[in-house]
Chains A and B, each alone.
Chain A
Amino acid sequence: MSEHRIATSKVAGTWAWFFQRLSAVLLVILLAAHIIAAHYWHVGEEISVDTVNERLKNVAFIAIDYSMLAMVLLHGLNGTRTVLFDFDMFIKRRKAVDKGLWILGIATMIWGIVILWPFISG
């Protein structure tokens, strides 16, 4: 653990800092849309493969879900990077941490795209 903590922007980079803010603002909008549309709009209705299917026939839902996933991964993993860099153990291995998080992020994005596909294609 670093004995002296420094401002996040200095350790993680100004772009990472700025991006965290930008993605945060976008997430507010997307998350609100996602939570309201997927959970509150037809609150109390049973959720099944059929209802998910029905919803994903709508292009707007697909757009919201996929951009949400992208934003959440970028924001969440960028945030995880900040947390990790508070520990000496990880800041010593910056390159490896960055690489690992990118791989995890891209792999998860592909995973997300693939699992919604059967719903979208019917």
Chain B
Amino acid sequence: MKIGNDDLRARTFKWLFGRNSEFWPTNMKTGMWAWVGHRLTGIILVVYVFMHLSFLTQASLSHEKFNSLMQVTAQPAFVFMDFMLVCAVIYHAMNGFRVVLFDMGVGIRKQKLVFWIMMAIAAVLVAVGFWLLFDAGLFNGEWF
């Protein structure tokens, strides 16, 4: 039987977001959350790389523009966004390490435990990163 495009679209939508979809929050287990998070952070990082290059382009085009742009990004809200980016990298890297371990045949049977061990390490790294920024006064006491 041939299915029309609209039909396919509706089915795809249900497959992705429906109550029975494997992506419905209550249907997701640890491994699935880990994968969704990995994919999301991966995509965010790719987008960021292009933003990063754009900012640097401003610098090579006009020094005044770059310097004032850097002053804007030194505001606490932007530092916080930078910090969120560091969190994304740390999550992606720690879970990526977990995936590589599994591919080498290490720890698959204990994948949940491995996930939480990695997240514990990630939490320590995030805390250290936060402390360094906080200690340098980059949040300016505005938020914290």
Q: Is the CB of B53 within 8 A of A112?
A: yes
Chain B residues, Cβ within 8 Å of A79: 42, 46
- Pick out which of these stretches binds chain A: B89-97, B106-114, B115-123: B89-97
By a CB distance below 8 angstroms, the chain B residues around A46 are: 70-71, 74
List residues of chain B with CB within 8 A of the CB of A80: 43, 46
**25 intermolecular pairs with C-beta atoms under 8 Å apart:** A21-B100, A28-B93, A31-B89, A31-B93, A43-B133, A44-B136, A46-B70, A48-B67, A49-B59, A49-B63, A49-B67, A73-B49, A76-B45, A76-B46, A76-B49, A77-B46, A83-B42, A108-B49, A108-B53, A111-B53, A112-B53, A114-B60, A115-B56, A115-B60, A119-B59
Q: Mark A16-51, 1 if CB is under 8 A from B, else 0.
A: 000001001101100100010001100110111100
A120 CA / B75 CA spacing, docked (Å): 28
Q: Does A103 contact B (CB under 8 A)?
A: no
Cross-chain contact A115 with B132 (CB below 8 angstroms): no
Near A by CB (< 8 A), chain B positions 65-80 give 66-67, 70-71, 73-74
- Identify the B interface with A (CB < 8 A): 12, 15-16, 39, 42-43, 45-46, 49-50, 53, 56-57, 59-60, 63, 66-67, 70-71, 73-74, 82, 86, 89, 93, 96-97, 100, 103, 129, 132-133, 136-138
Which residues on the A side are within 8 Å of B43 (C-beta)?
80, 83
Place the interface of chain A in its size category.
Answer: 20 to 34
Told that A43-B138, A72-B49, A116-B56 touch, could you supply 19 new A-B pairs with CB distance under 8 A? A1-B12, A1-B15, A3-B15, A24-B96, A28-B97, A31-B93, A35-B86, A44-B136, A47-B74, A48-B66, A48-B67, A48-B70, A76-B46, A76-B49, A83-B43, A108-B50, A111-B57, A115-B56, A116-B60
A122 at the interface (CB under 8 A from B): no
B interface, over-half SS: helix
B136 surroundings in chain A (CB, below 8 A): 43-44
Q: Which residues of A contact B (CB under 8 A)?
A: 1, 3, 21, 24-25, 27-28, 31, 35, 39-40, 43-44, 46-49, 52, 72-73, 76-77, 79-80, 83, 108, 111-112, 114-119
Among A39, A43, A48, A115, the residue within 8 A (CB) of B53 is A115
8 Å CB contact of A43 from B39, B66, B132: B132
Asked if residues A35 and B89 are in contact (CB atoms below 8 Å), the reply is yes
When distances are taken between beta carbons in the complex, the residues of chain B under 8 Å from A47 are: 70, 73-74
